[in-house]
Amino acid sequence: MNGILIIDKHAGMTSHDVVNAVRRILREHSVGHLGTLDPLATGVLPLVVGNFTRLAQFYSHCEKSYEGVICFGFATDTYDAEGEPAGSKQTPNLSLQQAKQMAVRFTGTIMQTPPPFSAKKIAGVPAYKLARKRKKVALTAVPVEIQEFEILECDGERASFRARVASGTYMRSVAHDMGQVLGCGAHLESLRRTAVAEFAIGDALTLEQLSSAAEEQRIEDVFVHPRKILPELPSITASDEMVARIRTGRTVNLPELSRAAKIKVFAGQRELVAIATRVAGTLFHAKLVLAPETAAQLVRH
């Protein structure tokens, strides 16, 4: 069972909780996720299954999109609604125009300190483990990129937003830092991830829907079609001879793809065999074999 699933994560679950649930539903141990989603957050959580777990390396720096609500008036120790209030509560009266102007300050490449309750490591220890023990968490500010950050509505205390950010950006930190600048404190009240790389919320299904699909034996229908994966890479539908060469680590000559650095190699319409890299001229070699030959195929050759 190899493929990519897009789960619409419920609030309250960790990303690892979702992975474990999918392992049980599919009866498949080899399941991983493409980027942690906070327990508070909902939305797009892409999962790689079987041999496709090896594709995770191509998604380590992918773009993400969010919708959410920032609550102004007090900060929390986790920078979101699940934390303990930090400081006294204020009653801000933020206008939509003020909120929009503030969003502009947080658009582009900015310096951002990750939340103390995060998976960022300090001397090899995740920051959240230190924070839970009330130990000092000293995280360093790093540059992050926020391509789009739009305030949609604001009622004085709450502002709804839409954002598109590069990997490594914490919307919790954005909310916290906006509160710091305004002097009234703020935290992330809710967050929904609407896209990760090429995977959008429209492709997602709940764990309940996945369970139903498994019971009805239509799992293949809910996997992302392999042709939609890594759309930036050109595809080739290889002949049986070329597929056999690629599967056994030999080079193939592909003059029609001489300008491509990496390509996707398919056997038929759905079977993604490998990600191949151009090694010289028009010669390509498999960087990653996702569908090795079976014993029956080896016998035929």
What is the model's pLDDT at position 301?
Answer: 40
Question: In angstroms, rounded to a whole number, what is the distance separating the alpha carbons of residues 69 and 191?
Answer: 7
Per-residue pLDDT of the chain (301 residues), as tens digits, is 899 999 999 999 989 999 999 999 999 999 999 988 888 899 999 999 999 999 999 998 999 999 999 999 999 988 999 888 988 899 898 999 999 999 999 999 999 988 876 666 555 655 555 556 566 666 778 999 999 999 999 999 999 999 999 998 999 999 999 999 999 999 999 999 999 999 999 999 999 999 999 999 999 899 999 999 999 999 999 999 999 999 888 999 988 887 899 999 999 999 999 999 999 888 999 999 997 654 334 334 4
What is the model's pLDDT at position 134?
Answer: 62
What is the model's pLDDT at position 129?
Answer: 59
Question: In angstroms, rounded to a whole number, what is the distance separating the alpha carbons of residues 1 and 129?
Answer: 35
Question: In angstroms, rounded to a whole number, what is the distance separating the alpha carbons of residues 190 and 107?
Answer: 20
Q: Is 87 helix (H, G, I), strand (E, B) or coil?
A: coil
Which residues touch 145 (CB under 8 Å, ≥6 apart)? Answer: 108, 109, 110, 165, 166, 169
Domains of the chain: 3-60+199-227 (3.30.2350.10), 64-196 (3.30.2350.10), 233-300 (2.30.130.10)
Question: In angstroms, rounded to a whole number, what is the distance separating the alpha carbons of residues 5 and 25?
Answer: 12
What is the model's pLDDT at position 38?
Answer: 86
Active site residues: 38
Contact 222, 209 (CB under 8 A): yes
Q: Is the dihedral of CA 250, 255, 261, 265 positive or negative?
A: negative
